[in-house]
A = this chain, B = another copy of it.
Amino acid sequence: MALRHAVLAALLAGDGSDGDGSGEYSGYQLAKAFDIGVANFWHALPQQLYAELARLEKEGLVAGRHVVQETRPNKRMFRVTQAGLAEFEAFAAATPKASFIRDDLMVKVQAADSVDTAPVIEQLEERAALAEAKIELFGKVLRKMRGELDEEEFLRRGEPIGPYLTCLRGLALERENRDWGLRVAAVLRERRTDEAR
Residues in chain A within 8 A of chain B (CB atoms)? 2, 5-6, 8-10, 12-13, 15, 37-38, 40-43, 85, 88-89, 91-93, 95-116, 119-120, 123, 127, 155-157, 159-163, 165-166, 168-169, 172-173, 176, 179-180, 183-184, 187-188, 190-191, 194
Q: Which residue of B lies closest to A194 (CB)?
A: B156
For residue A11, give the distance in angstroms from its CB to the closest CB of chain B.
9
Whether A104 contacts B2 in the complex (CB less than 8 A), given A9-B111, A116-B92, comes out as: yes
Copies of this chain, tallied across the complex: 2
Chain B residues contacting A160 (CB-CB under 8 Å) are 112-113
SS of A interface (majority):
helix
For residue A162, give the distance in angstroms from its CB to the closest CB of chain B.
4
Bound CA–CA A92/B114 (angstroms): 11
For residue A82, give the distance in angstroms from its CB to the closest CB of chain B.
12
For residue A182, give the distance in angstroms from its CB to the closest CB of chain B.
12
Q: Which of B102, B110, B184 contacts A9, CB < 8 Å? A: B110
Can you list 17 residue pairs at the A/B interface with Cβ under 8 Å? Answer: A5-B107, A13-B114, A42-B101, A43-B100, A88-B115, A92-B111, A92-B115, A96-B104, A96-B123, A99-B103, A109-B169, A110-B162, A110-B163, A113-B162, A157-B194, A161-B191, A176-B176
